[in-house]
């Protein structure tokens, strides 16, 4: 079971954040304006944002987490992520 607003999938708004972290691999992006499946949301939780507790986010800058807004099975969560119109972007070596 994936817990609402707790578990999720990591994403970054800026591909340069991957390079700065020395991460490698294929980068995928979502087209601007993409709507998430019902029951999904996004939390901006990078160090470049101020969270509701007044502190910076706990992740690297431009980090966002795609989260379930309700409890769901891991299978439903993964299926929802895979249903999004991901597009290949750049590859970082």
DSSP letters, 16-64, are HHHHHTT--EEEEE--TTPPPPTTEEEEE-BTTSB-TTSSBPSBSTTEE
pTM higher than the cut 0.75? yes
Q: What is the full per-residue pLDDT of the chain (93 aa) written as tens digits?
A: 777 667 799 999 988 888 888 888 999 999 999 999 999 999 999 999 888 888 888 888 999 999 999 999 999 999 999 999 999 999 988
């Amino acid at each position: 079971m994936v817990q609402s607003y707790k578990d999720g999938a990591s994403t970054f708004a800026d591909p340069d954040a991957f390079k700065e972290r020395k991460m490698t691999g294929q980068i995928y992006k979502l087209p601007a304006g993409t709507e998430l499946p019902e029951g999904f949301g996004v939390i901006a939780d990078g160090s470049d944002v101020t969270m509701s507790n007044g502190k910076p986010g706990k992740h690297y800058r431009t980090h966002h987490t795609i989260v379930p807004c309700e409890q769901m099975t891991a299978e439903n969560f993964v299926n929802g992520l895979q249903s999004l119109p991901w597009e290949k972007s750049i590859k970082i070596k």
